[in-house]
Structure 1
């Protein structure tokens, strides 16, 4: 058994009850953010087919077996119940829970919940105020709605994959599950907007989130470059399509990002590195001149290489300070050790198998929220008794009977 999340919940969403009928990341991450903000999140898993990220590494060894820190990162602060939604009793229990809930989040392929007899039309009959958030590969409408989708599907279908990598080489997927994560972020935003309306009007609604839509929204300039100018965005490596110098540059012990492309930043940079006259060199004295690809390759980039080669990442960051945009390109161990990241509370201790594990904090910072301890992710069905007895009023014997019949 894991440590129970802190109760009662505190924070801006205290009192909001969320049913989390999701698995993997696109969905659990959305519900975790709501939990971090104080909502009571009840994760619902099939007792015979639980969230398979419970098996994802890295694992923490404990007396009762290994526990996934990956699973814990996206399911902390939740209560967990096991419920077979294919059984009539399981469906009936979920409907009863819906009557007590403000929000339900699911990430099945569109139509699955309807086939289970638990679609939005059925559940809103139980609770007209329910906010029903559905996350899927392609959304609930459109010709591709029924297609299966993963994070890579979103990156591919949303255009981002085609833009990532280096010119004249095959595209490269973004090196994280940006489709899952961005869909979760949009889902959280949409869910809270729908909750606000439900509180005001007494009427809930469906929040329909597509991974493809989420990824497309991250392609920045690509759509308007094509619709306005007919250009098709392709891989640029570390370059920017219309700003220079603005990218990755080597230094004594690695690489930095430098973005001093404006005339102001360029003049400050030239002075920092002891060659202030370069700011007025007629070949590179304006932003427009420095953007020229040939000028950049022949003059600006060699100059930056010469300047930066003398210094380490840390030295360059110290020199740049608040004066010019320059950041070390940090490895993840360097990011975790960054004092600024610590000051922002972006690495937090969460109990996993009885020991603290450092993992991602919540990037949303509210001045009126003092924060709260981070509770562990639930073991499978850990809070069956708490939820079914306290929330639904079932007797202990009835809960035991449900377990014997395999419903929970």
Structure 2
């Protein structure tokens, strides 16, 4: 097998615990690209595979970064940094044959087609395992590879709707509201990355690969906190609560002088500290609100606890309240994205990283996985479609420039 690390011009050979692991990324948009990007951040060599005439349409998503020569998507770059890119037309015999050659040389393949699509192309797991028995085949889809809904098309909103999260979000007196980010895509990618690394460990131990089957619906379901057991144990159906919590108060959003804060001082200990912090320690002994159970009562919370907190908080800004709370009680400013990006703590955690786009360095979220043994290295730009055709096909599977030209003429790459 070709040792990719011996090539000094291999731009994605990055240090990290997954260094040397080779991944074929046949995914689009976010559910899939994010999964492989996390592994690229951890050192894996990720080869993004796109159709030569129809590349990942996330490349057209805003915001864009412009230079004199090009306009590139920062959205796309955020989920495809540190990768190589090749083009392959998997509907052509030549394209399929070339994928077979790549599969023989890699450890992992990630795809996010509707179940059955790869099988129709003759490129499903059963076919590919004949080429590489150790292959970890990760499949991300809306409803998974089994069950009556497996063949249904899906987007992120599908996962939020079918997984129950949408029905729980919003305010009690209004229709449900989707979560304000693509939580279905992101959750599926996170679980897929965990499952892929676990299956890779098993393949290294036993020599046998397997399918990692991750569903957006399944992933979203696990994000519903107590909703499942509330229903199975008590037949209680979770409904929108706004900023309230089903069994603890005060625990939510409260207004202050220049915005809102989250305050979660519902325990007796935190409540007593809070009362003292605002100069009214005797309120912790008030018989109407001196226990967690009393403060949770909806009427008591509305008539006694919330007005008291709003009176206290209204005299201070978010920053002042955070300074007062310090490490004594759970209180945090509800920050805008601008405030988060500029947060010194976020900077200290290296959570905004600079990635090259169109000749500029653009900040985007870094990795929340902090490993003490992993050094920090600069991030590589997201690749252009087919940017690494010559490098990958020559170095990994031994195809020379003449053969590449023939493949291009045949529409295979």
Please report the TM-score for the alignment, with normalisation by the length of structure 1: 0.98
Pair 1:312 & 2:346 matched? no
Contact 2:59 2:73 in 1 (8 A): yes
- Change in Cα spacing, 1:241 to 1:7, as seen in structure 2 (3 Å) is closer
In the alignment, what sits opposite 1:157?
162
Contact 1:5 1:79 in 2 (8 A): no
Structure 1: any 5+ residue segments left out of the alignment? none
In the alignment, what sits opposite 2:151?
146
Q: What is the CA-CA distance between 1:5 and the residue it aligns to? A: 7.6
1:15 is aligned, of 20, 31, 34, to 20
In the alignment, what sits opposite 2:112?
107
Q: What is the CA-CA distance between 1:405 and the residue it aligns to? A: 2.2
Contact 2:15 2:375 in 1 (8 A): no
3-state SS in 2 of match to 1:138: coil
> CA offsets per residue over residues 198-226 of structure 1, 9 Å max, x none?
00000000000000000000001001001
Partners of 2:403 and 2:245 lie apart in 1 by 63
Contact 1:58 1:68 in 2 (8 A): yes
In the alignment, what sits opposite 1:75?
80
Q: What is the CA-CA distance between 1:10 and the residue it aligns to? A: 1.1
Q: What is the CA-CA distance between 1:327 and the residue it aligns to? A: 0.2
1:361 is aligned, of 363, 366, 372, to 366
In the alignment, what sits opposite 2:4?
none
3-state SS in 1 of match to 2:293: helix
Contact 1:18 1:105 in 2 (8 A): yes
* RMSD value, Cα: 0.9
2:29 is aligned, of 16, 24, 35, to 24
3-state SS in 2 of match to 1:60: strand
Partners of 2:261 and 2:12 lie apart in 1 by 45
Partners of 1:393 and 1:96 lie apart in 2 by 10
In the alignment, what sits opposite 2:47?
42
Partners of 2:237 and 2:10 lie apart in 1 by 49
Q: What is the CA-CA distance between 1:61 and the residue it aligns to? A: 1.1
Pair 1:53 & 2:58 matched? yes
Decide which moves more: 398-407 or 50-59.
398-407
Contact 2:13 2:43 in 1 (8 A): no
Contact 2:82 2:382 in 1 (8 A): yes
Partners of 2:12 and 2:115 lie apart in 1 by 34
Please report the TM-score for the alignment, with normalisation by the length of structure 2: 0.97
In the alignment, what sits opposite 1:349?
354
3-state SS in 1 of match to 2:119: helix
Partners of 1:391 and 1:297 lie apart in 2 by 66
Residue correspondences, number? 405
Partners of 1:182 and 1:93 lie apart in 2 by 32
Partners of 2:12 and 2:70 lie apart in 1 by 26
Contact 1:6 1:373 in 2 (8 A): no
In the alignment, what sits opposite 1:328?
333
In the alignment, what sits opposite 2:304?
299
Partners of 1:113 and 1:171 lie apart in 2 by 36
3-state SS in 2 of match to 1:93: helix
Partners of 2:59 and 2:177 lie apart in 1 by 28
Partners of 2:13 and 2:186 lie apart in 1 by 28
Pair 1:193 & 2:198 matched? yes
In the alignment, what sits opposite 2:254?
249
Partners of 1:248 and 1:396 lie apart in 2 by 61
